[in-house]
Amino acid sequence: MDRIRNCQEKFEKLFGGKPTQNEGNDPGFMRILQRFIFGEVSYTGPLDDRVRELVTITVLTVNQTLPQLKAHVAACLHIGISPAEIREAVYQCAPFIGFPKTLNAIAAMDEAFAAGGVALPLDGGETVTEENRLEQGLAVQKPVYGDEIKERYTWLPAEFAEAVPRFLTELCFSDFMTRKGLDTKTRELLTVVLLAALGGTEVQVRSHAAGALKTGSTKEEVVCALVHAMPYMGFPRLFNALGCAKELLRG
């Protein structure tokens, strides 16, 4: 593998420029970073550049590394990923990282959109109504996850035993997962990466790895998504995710 040539080709494709030579105050560090990410990791595994960049902006959203998020939103646009796809990858982080952090990421994304000439606001992506949120959420959730959450929290005081699983169904699986812009397979794969990047979510990583397989991802694609996320979230998060999903992802 020629990391230097690969890095040059990938960097040009994503960013329309050349990787670091001797520019800046820390050129040595940047050469290590760029040759590893864009010359090696980006060429390992079966995922295409579209999914890889959606993985990247998902992890950057979770990490709140907003300057890098802006750069990769621009890269997404540069390789032809639609603004709607980018938006949905960021939006769907909200149930997992909370609304304030997602708003931070949206602000950075919108700055990159404006710089790229994308007219805002984008067309709405909603497909559910106030009346059918629960029904539509269950239609997405139950075939993949059954009643796992509802059954797990029956021990809560009565009002919360009903409300907590309903909130999850209506917010995560209805308000976000039913939106236009991303297919279910991509959403589930990004959710695995999102949870891995959060850390301390081993139960959920394993559950959503199983969900990703059920919705069409291969074992190689799930592992590739996690490995591609590693330079942005670190080896410990990768190893935790691989370890908790080992039985599902074993080759």
Asked whether the predicted pLDDT for residue 148 surpasses 90, the reply is no
| Mean predicted confidence (pLDDT) in 148-153 | 88
Asked whether the predicted pLDDT for residue 138 surpasses 90, the reply is yes
Q: What is the pTM of this model?
A: 0.96
| Mean predicted confidence (pLDDT) in 228-242 | 98
Determine the pLDDT at residue 14. 98
SS3 179: coil
Cβ contacts of 29 within 8 Å, gap of 6 or more:
none
Instruction: For each of the domains in the chain, give its residue range(s) and CATH number, in order of start.
Output: 44-125+179-249 (1.20.1290.10), 133-173 (no CATH)
d(CA 206, CA 209): 5
67-102 residue pLDDT tens: 999 999 999 999 999 999 999 999 999 999 999 999
Q: Which letter does DSSP use for residue 39 in this model? A: T
d(CA 183, CA 213): 14
45-73 residue pLDDT tens: 999 999 999 999 999 999 999 999 999 99
Peptide bond into 27 cis (omega under 30): no
Residue type, 188: E
Asked whether the predicted pLDDT for residue 147 surpasses 90, the reply is no
SS3 21: coil
d(CA 28, CA 34): 10
Neighbours of 237 (CB within 10 A): 24
190-225 residue pLDDT tens: 999 999 999 999 999 999 999 999 999 999 999 999
d(CA 196, CA 207): 12
Asked whether the predicted pLDDT for residue 1 surpasses 90, the reply is no
111-137 residue pLDDT tens: 999 999 999 999 999 999 999 999 999
